[in-house]
Structure 1
Amino acid sequence: MTRVILLIFSSLMLLGCNSEKQSKTLESQQFRPNVLVILTDQWRAQATGYAGDPNINTPHLDRLASRSVNFKNAVSGMPVCSPFRASLITGQRPLTHGIFMNDVQLDTAAVTFGKIFSKAGYDTGYIGKWHLDGHGRLSLIPPGKRRQGFDFWKANECTHDYNHSVYYENHDPERKIWEGYDTFAQTVAAIDYIVGKKTEEKPFSLILSYGTPHAPYQTAPEAYQKRFHPDSIQLRENVPEDMKEQVKKDLAGYYAHIAALDDMVGKLILNLKETGQLNNTIIVFTSDHGDLLGSHGAYKKQQPYDESVRVPMLWHIPERLGIATGKKDALLNSEDILPTLLALCDIPIPETVEGINYKGYLEDAENIDRAALITCVQPFGQWNRVQYGGREYRGLLTQRYTYARDLNGPWLLFDNEKDPYQMNNLVGNAEYTDLQSELENRLSARLKENGDEFLPGMTYIQEWGYPVDSLGTVPYSE
């Protein structure tokens, strides 16, 4: 009898253990994290404390970096505002979604971030700069298809008047102005949105899209501008002598915007912590592209130099997903963000998505050693204060090298380990003939894989029917 009782007791214990395991497995399967994408505009990867910039302290981002996965080699595959944004929300490359220049409209039938997360039961929100509509930078983007599936809306098409910044709210067609410096006001709006979702059963997915630290540089609040004096700015070695005085002034303003943004990141994270949502929220902090800011004699973006194409990329991932923090070497590209987010949220990745799912890589279950493809369709002279041989190009970034060719053949080759400021172009150097040939073959194979014939930029512009001016740029209205 005693033996029978022991057997029954053991069986009950085993059932209990199995039930507990099944319960934990079910809980893990049902866990749906919130998603917060913090998107900045024109923030180059070098310009943070954790990346070693001697000019700026970013204590809040440094703290976030210490608790995140840091893709230290992250790339903006087409370093221009609208192309990156379209790749972010579609998971496609620019020549697929068609947004390879600013101020054109993304196809309203596109399969997008907002639509996918909404279908998966998420509440979706968008705050700040959109730049995917192409119907006038200060115009209303009406509710419906042109908002690409986002439910909550406090956004504008595009403005860089940060102290008199236009936006439209949800279904209200009235033009509104953010109070004060829009970076602060948009942060408050994001916090209000997040707090409002605390008690709801549905998880949220929010893109908070700031316009800063994009120019104009000297427009941050005075308290932040006072922290940075041009005479104290340390320039990168690739800034020409005749530009140094102006670049120091502009960098002082650039860092003032960054310091303000860092404080706002701190406010957002503190709010998530205080509301008990930090451990249930994936946070992606990044930028659409960098800013040359005098490096290589140019300003703004679009060129294949590190200051333009490399972006900050931090992923704060809830502990229960079992992903270790730390630096990662893989060259995560613009179109890879969406599929990786979807996989982490256990949402099926649509067939339209072309980007790589990095979830297995984050879990150390697979290795991804893939060069990042960089593309320019428009000749980019009009994007820079200094003409610097504007041209279309295709290029590859590996963990060590940058290689690009234009329509005439090989153009740039840098050994970024030996030459971190990219001042010694190795194209045609006899010692690097084999390397140049290898990279050219790899680039050709990638272009063939993608169906990119690398034609003159105007060919693509005409194919998509975009009206352009004499500079090859889509004229935009306010």
Structure 2
Amino acid sequence: MKKRLTYISICSLCLLAMVPWSVAGQKKSKPNILYILVDQWRAQSTGYAGDENVQTPNLDRLASKSLNLTHAVSGMPVCSPHRASFLTGQYPLTHGVFMNDVLLDSNRTTIGKIFKAHGYQTAYLGKWHVDGHGRSSYIPKTRQQGFDYWKALECTHDYNKSAYYEGDSPQKKMWETYDAIAQTQDVCQYINKQQAGDDPFFLVLSIGSPHDPYQTAPEKYRKIYENKIFKLRDNVPADKVAKVQNDLRGYYAHMTAIDDCVGQLWQTLKDKGLDQNTLIVFTSDHGDLLGSHGAWNKQQPYDESVRVPFLIHYPKALGEKGKKSKVLINSPDIMPTLLGFTGIKIPSSVEGKDFSAILKGKKKNDVSYTLLSCVQPFGQWTRKRGGKEYRGVMTEKYTYVRDLNGPWLLFDREKDPFQMNNLVGKKELYQLESKLDKMLSHELKKRKDAFLPGLQYVKKWNYVIDSTETVPYVKINYQGLPIKDNSSGYPETK
């Protein structure tokens, strides 16, 4: 009997040796991924980016041990388009989500489905915002895009009375406290349940703050900034100063609360022994103008709107020495880059670029510009508020943008970091403007983007809009019944 068991064991070892890789080996080599996505956090507003006003000690420490992508861009800087590009690796005119509150086709090849198909546990917590069936509506399993562990809601900015749906249940639940903190605690529990030999996980924590309303962080964080007077950006007009000062107190309070959450998540990974082989990303879907250029929120092609924080902490592949990179990673590039880090083949449907080899120093950067766009202005940037269609390119140094009438903006961001001197039409810069315009034309041709008026794309995708050219969303009352709502839900910014 003993000889028979020995024979079986030897045969089993021989069989494993013949297989190019074993499941156990794959589990050890494939990294976990913790993707922390926040809402409306501009790249300029962290301690490590030089903002003296805000307290982000955990992010500053993470940056000191991570790769900091200083020129990361949200190419269409608004919630749903960015999220759809992250999920699909495609540009908005391909996946069709170029406005908020519309549905991302559930048949798309998405990042959750891909990781799941390659043996990953998949999890999503927090804000979703690509379902298009109302901001409080139940999202069935068939529309969860490959994520198995599910505690999400389409969209809410009531962070202290925040609802979610779990799994495939239509029963609405509530986070017990400020949702970023409650969601972080849930993620920590998820991490602590991981056992040796478990499949690697791909977990997205999508936090709704620091998006306005600004003054709703827990009191302990609001007190940190109470009565503070901040040094403002040079492009904030004098008549907006009082409002900006007040809004920043709340904006920074949300940020410091999230910073504590990041610290807790990182420490949990360390305590569990998972830090070295976990790829942590911290980023945002877009920025916030917060009074810069006299405007608020996003969509516009200024740095405060389009540039986002992007940290990659992956000790096993990148080490733990803080480094900076100026690669122009854009929203559609995120999915293929994450797949590249894990060695998973990138689907043919993906339009974004895999930057993983460049970021690991194994390949020279060959990207000199990236695309900026607004297909259809809406919501917080309607035509009444100056909103308009645009296409543009961003290089390490310049931002160049066309509207439907022709060249609109040209900034040398190195000499003019606050983008206060528009260089469009300057005779002495004709060659530069012409070069950037040719770059844009080439990119539009590559993307098969005819740059038509936005309403033509709205018609093509059969989106229903209101009088402000915004897709209205359905509100759900406390009984779970729809309330007719023809408003955009966006307050007038003054």
Q: In the alignment, which residue of structure 1 is the partner of 2:312?
A: 315
SS in structure 2 at match of 1:38: strand
Match of 2:332 among 331, 335, 347: 335
Partners of 1:344 and 1:384 lie apart in 2 by 37
- Secondary structure, counterpart of 1:218 in structure 2: helix
Match of 2:33 in 1: 35
Q: Distance in 2 between matches of 1:163 and 1:153?
A: 20
Q: Name the CA distance, whole Å, in 2 between partners of 1:446 and 1:386.
A: 26
Report deviation, 1:343.
1.1
SS for the counterpart of 2:214 is coil
Aligned: 1:444 with 2:441: yes
CA distance in structure 2 between the aligned counterparts of 1:32 and 1:183, rounded to whole angstroms: 28
Counterpart contact for 1:230–1:251, Cα < 8 Å? no
Structure 1 counterpart of 2:134: 136
Q: Where does the alignment leave 5 or more consecutive residues of structure 1 unmatched?
A: 1-18
- 2:386 matched residue in structure 1: 389
Corresponding position of 1:198: 195
Q: Distance in 2 between matches of 1:453 and 1:280?
A: 44
Give SS of 2:216's match: coil
Q: Does 1:275 align with 2:282?
A: no
Cα distance, 1:66 vs. partner? Answer: 1.1
Structure 1 contact 123–151 (Cα < 8 Å) conserved = yes
- 2:103 is aligned, of 96, 102, 105, to 105
Show structure 2 runs of 5+ residues with no match.
Answer: 1-16, 476-494
2:123 corresponding residue in structure 1: 125
**Deviation string for 1:218-257 (max 9, x for gaps)?**
0001110011135411111111111110111001100000
Separation in structure 2 between the aligned mates of residue 190 and residue 320 of structure 1, nearest angstrom? 24
| 116 and 203 in structure 1: CA distance in 2 versus 1, 3 angstrom threshold | same
Instruction: Tell me the distance in 2 between the aligned counterparts of 1:277 and 1:465.
Output: 46
Per-residue CA deviation, residues 365-410 of structure 1 (Å, 9 max, x unaligned), is 2222321101101125x41499652110001110000110000000
Matched, 1:358 2:355: yes
CA contact (8 A) 1:41 1:213 kept: yes
Q: Which residue of 2 aligns with 1:64?
A: 62
TM-score by length of 1: 0.92
Q: Give the letter for the 2:88 counterpart.
A: T
Contact (CA 8 Å) 1:76, 1:84: kept in 2 or not? yes
Tell me what 1:457 maps to.
454
Contact 1:125 1:150 in 2 (8 A): yes
Q: String of CA shifts for 1:129-169, please: whole Å, max 9, x gaps.
A: 000101010111012x2001100000000000000001011
Measure, in 1, the Cα distance between the counterparts of 2:120 and 2:173: 27
CA distance in 1, matches of 2:213, 2:361: 42
Tell me how far apart the structure 2 counterparts of residues 235 and 229 of structure 1 sit (CA, whole Å). Answer: 16
Shift of the alpha carbon at 1:105? 0.4
> 1:323 and 1:351 mapped to 2: Cα distance?
33
Please tell me whether residue 375 in structure 1 is matched to residue 373 in structure 2.
Answer: yes
Q: Which residue of 2 aligns with 1:150?
A: 147
Alignment of 1:404-419 (within 5 A): 404-419=401-416
Which shifted more, 368-377 or 123-132?
Answer: 368-377
1:136·1:477 contact (CA, 8 Å) conserved in 2? yes
- Answering whether residue 420 of structure 2 is matched by residue 426 of structure 1, we say no
- Check the 8 A contact 2:409/2:422 in 1, yes or no: yes
Q: Is the 8 A contact 1:164 1:178 kept in 2?
A: yes
When structure 1 is superposed on structure 2, of 239-248 and 313-322 the one drifting more is 313-322
Please report the RMSD computed on the Cα atoms of aligned residues, expressed in angstroms.
2.0
Measured in 1, the distance between the counterparts of 2:41 and 2:383 equals 20
CA distance in 2, matches of 1:95, 1:244: 37
Q: Write the distance in 1 (CA, Å) between the matches of 2:465 and 2:268.
A: 45
SS class of match (2:409): strand
In structure 2, the partner of 1:53 is 51
Out of 248, 251, 254, which is 2:251 matched to? 254
SS in structure 2 of the partner of residue 209 of structure 1: strand
Which position in structure 1 is the counterpart of 2:207?
Answer: 210
1:304 corresponding residue in structure 2:
301
Offset at residue 363 of structure 1 (A): 2.2
Contact kept, 8 Å, 2:382 with 2:388, in 1: the verdict is no
Contact 1:40 1:286 in 2 (8 A): yes
Alpha-carbon contact 2:35-2:204 (below 8 Å) kept: yes
Please report the TM-score for the alignment, with normalisation by the length of structure 2: 0.89
| 2:66–2:320 Cα contact (<8 Å) kept | no
Percent identical residues = 57
CA distance in 1, matches of 2:302, 2:258: 24
Q: Which residue of 1 aligns with 2:9?
A: none
Return the letter of the residue paired with 1:402. Answer: T
Secondary structure of the residue that 1:412 maps to in structure 2? strand
Preserved CA contact (<8 Å) 2:27 2:200: no
Q: What letter corresponds to residue 54 of structure 1 in structure 2?
A: E
Further displaced range: 354-363 or 81-90: 354-363
Q: Report the CA distance shift for 1:459/1:99 in structure 2 as closer, same or farther (over 3 A).
A: same
From the superposition, tell whether residues 249 and 323 of structure 1 become closer, same or farther in structure 2 (CA, over 3 Å): closer
